[in-house]
């Protein structure tokens, strides 16, 4: 019964390793994931049973655009949100995708955290009533005088804006969003860095140190659990 309640997502990409990485991380977030390694394989599935499709554009055989066109032509699948995943990031490609009815467009390489945020946003837009969406959607992450504005991508401490790099911002958001949850270095690497970038544990530690310095009075809240990883202690 519990399995039936999970949001079902179909991941379509001819890179099998990438499919498995997405499957592992999305299932860890509570989604039910199925994969297809080609457009043809995807169309053989019961596509109408999914609530969202992550669809690669450039695949051998049928392209993601061609798959999307077929899905949007069918009454049973035309309502399903589609997020395109692609190495093609030109404006014309994005226009083509949106004209086909895409709900979002993520350029490779991407971080797992970015994919998760885009998925949540698309699912909210697609399935949550507008009034409820604007009433409930969180636009900030906060702890006392520490405020992260998710729309403006800014961090303020006691009312003063503090500059964070994209990586530092990602680390802070991850830890602050799930206060008390311990993230290993590998967890942070999967969530924040692009999938095609080789990142060492040392790189994670250096960025954690930089975040701590910028947190000022909240530096001690970014805590190390020896042998396990890092967490935000609230």
- The alpha carbons of the chain give a radius of gyration, in whole angstroms, of 19
What is the pLDDT of the chain when averaged over all its residues?
Answer: 88
Encoding tokens for residue 85?
């995943």
Asked if residue 120 and residue 88 are part of one domain, the reply reads yes
Q: State the pLDDT at residue 162.
A: 96
Q: State the pLDDT at residue 13.
A: 95
25: domain CATH number? Answer: 3.40.50.2300
To the nearest 10°, report the CA torsion of 155, 174, 121, 23: 160
Asked if residue 146 and residue 113 are part of one domain, the reply reads no
Q: State the pLDDT at residue 131.
A: 55
Q: State the pLDDT at residue 130.
A: 54
Q: State the pLDDT at residue 41.
A: 96
Q: State the pLDDT at residue 128.
A: 67
Counting the structural domains of the chain, the total is: 2
Distance CA 54, CA 85 (A): 7
Q: State the pLDDT at residue 229.
A: 94
221: domain CATH number? Answer: 1.10.10.10
Asked if residue 123 and residue 160 are part of one domain, the reply reads no
- In 13-63 the beta strands, taken as DSSP E runs, fall at 32-36, 52-56
Asked if residue 179 and residue 82 are part of one domain, the reply reads no
Instruction: Answer whether 105's CB lies under 8 Å from 98's CB.
Output: yes
Instruction: State the residue range of the domain holding 209.
Output: 138-232
Q: Across the 234 residues of the chain, what is the mean pLDDT of every consecutive 10-residue run?
A: 72 94 93 96 95 93 93 92 81 77 84 89 78 59 92 92 94 92 91 83 95 97 94 93
């Amino acid at each position: 019964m519990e399995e039936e309640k999970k949001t079902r997502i179909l991941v379509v990409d001819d890179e099998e390793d990438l499919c498995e990485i997405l499957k592992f991380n999305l299932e860890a977030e509570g989604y039910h994931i199925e994969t297809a390694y080609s457009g043809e394989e995807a169309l053989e599935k019961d596509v109408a049973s999914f609530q969202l499709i992550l669809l690669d554009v450039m695949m051998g055989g049928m392209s993601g655009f061609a798959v999307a066109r077929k899905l949007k032509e069918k009454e049973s699948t035309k309502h399903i949100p589609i997020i395109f995943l692609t190495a093609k990031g030109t404006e014309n490609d994005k226009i083509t995708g949106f004209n086909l009815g895409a709900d979002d467009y993520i350029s490779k390489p991407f971080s797992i955290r970015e994919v998760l945020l885009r998925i949540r946003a698309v699912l909210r837009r697609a399935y949550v009533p507008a009034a409820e969406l604007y009433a409930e959607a969180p636009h900030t992450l906060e702890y006392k005088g520490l405020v992260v504005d998710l729309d403006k991508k800014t961090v303020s401490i006691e009312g003063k804006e503090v500059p964070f790099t994209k990586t530092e911002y990602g680390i802070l958001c991850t830890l602050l969003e799930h206060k008390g949850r311990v993230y290993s270095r590998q967890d942070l690497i999967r969530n924040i860095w692009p999938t095609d970038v080789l990142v060492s544990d040392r790189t994670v530690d250096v960025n954690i140190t930089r975040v701590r310095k910028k947190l000022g009075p909240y530096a001690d809240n970014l805590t190390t659990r020896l042998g396990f990883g890092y967490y935000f202690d609230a």
